[in-house]
Amino acid sequence: MFNFNTQPRKFSFQGEITVPGDKSIAHRAIIFGALANGVTQISNFMYADDLAVTVRIFKELGAKIHTEISNKDMIIKGIDHQLKPLDHPLQIDNVGTLRSLLFGVLASSPNQYEVIGGDYLQKRPTSHLVSLLQEMGASYQQTTENALPMRITGSNDLQGITYHQDISNAQIKSSLILAGIYANSETRIIRKLPTRNHTEVLANYFGADIEVKPDIIVVHPGHSQLEGQSLIIPGDFSSAAMYIVGALLSDGSEITLPGVGLNKTRIGLLNVAKQMGAHIFLNQHSINSVEPFGDLIIKSQKLHGTTISAQQVPFIIDEIPLIALMASQANGRTVIDGIHDVYLQISDRLINMRTELAKLGIIMQVHEDQIVINGNQEINVKDDVDSHNDHRIAMMLCIASILTETPFKIKNIEAIDVSYPGFIADLNKVLVAK
């Protein structure tokens, strides 16, 4: 456990910072590159803890993966879906995204695998996803009363299913897509609400045939041989969001964020900030690339409260702690409606967010379907805070510390390494003491 002592002063944001490559895209690029035939080259790869686990797992399953950490490049020689049999468990630690995606990958392999995880994932239920993949023809057996370990035996005779989404969950959708690519009949996902689309975008880029409409996704069979590709991973918007919110809230700030990913299903916080009155300059460079990206210029400005609809919620799932902080400093009240599906997925994060912000004097109401935050709350440090080993909460608390002259301690700061190992060093590059 590592603690971080914040500074006894306020700061503004000045200058330019390039955020690391997008973690969500990188997870999927590794997986598709490993499953494909031929060589995949990935540029702007960021070797965070979560991604290191994904790399290790697919090396164990037979892919050859070489990483040039100094220039952020990765080369993958794929296995053309010929997963290597193993006589030991696949240890995925606490990487929740990998768990869902891996379950879908293993569904189409006739080998038997055991998947084990860390304490956090052992407590997170998988029954809903497992029942869907079993319906397709794979076998999943819990070896304890917990969600993990799980013994998985896939099938090379998977049958597609029609799934009417009862919760808006991008990871369940992605898992079904990964299984459906290798099924013998169509998989149809009737969408409750649109969610992040990195899986279907990258799957089609590697050669799958996935039809995406506003209310349905259809995974067509017969295109199961993926081919290696080259791609540049744009800057991670969730990492950029830390600087966006910090600069908006800290007087006298102006910061440039070059090369940030601008996928429409990821930039929900940007749209919320605009609803709250923010004017953010956007210079988009790559509308026609695999994943769009561009430069953002953010200046400090006063915001006002807003109502965030249920349709927006799937696109802000990682940024809710930041939005809560932003709303607490705006004029008026902010309401986030329709969070039921998100609450089912990340209830721990929402509860911990409320607990830790309360230690800074920021009060909010968190219900199973709504969050209410009153604005113009003064940061009044009452106690040291804890990340609860959640990287999003850890980074949000770092941003909160910049808005107060009262120092406090952030416990378990190492959680940041899950997604952005150099965050504090990068943050210090653009902070100017007031």
Structure tokens at 267: 């930039």
Q: How far apart are CA 394 and CA 29, in angstroms?
A: 26
Q: How far apart are CA 396 and CA 319, in angstroms?
A: 9
Q: What is the CA radius of gyration of the chain?
A: 21
Q: Does 137 carry a binding-site annotation?
A: no
b/e sequence 29-45, b meaning 16+ C-beta within 10 Å: bbbbbbbbbeebebebb
What lies within 8 Å, CB to CB, of 357 at 6+ separation is: 321, 324, 325, 328, 363, 364, 400
- 196 labelled binding-site residue: no
User: With contact defined as beta carbons under 8 Å apart, do 219 and 181 qualify?
Assistant: yes
Phi, psi of 337 (to 5 degrees): -95, 160
Known catalytic residue: 341? no
Which of 93, 318, 386, 390 is catalytic? The answer is: 318
Is 124 annotated among the ligand-binding residues?
Answer: yes
**Binding site annotation covers 28?**
yes
Q: Whole-angstrom Cα distance, residue 43 to residue 20? A: 11
**Annotation-wise, does 24 bind a ligand?**
yes
Given a contact cutoff of 8 angstroms between Cβ atoms, the answer to whether 252 and 12 are in contact is yes
Q: Containing H/E element for 55?
A: helix 49-60
151 annotated ligand-binding residue: no
- 171 labelled as ligand-binding? yes
Peptide bond into 20 cis (omega under 30): no
For the chain, give percent helix, strand, coil, nearest 5: 35, 25, 40
CB 58, CB 103: distance < 8 Å: no
Could you count the other beta carbons within 10 Å of the beta carbon of residue 378?
A: 11
Q: What does the DSSP 8-state code read for residue 392?
A: H
Nearest to 320 by CA among 304, 340, 336: 336
Catalytic residue annotation:
318
* Residues making up the binding site for phosphoenolpyruvate: 23, 96, 124, 171, 349, 392
Q: Known binding site for 3-phosphoshikimate: residues?
A: 23-24, 28, 171, 318, 345
Binding site, annotated residues: 23-24, 28, 96, 124, 171, 318, 345, 349, 392
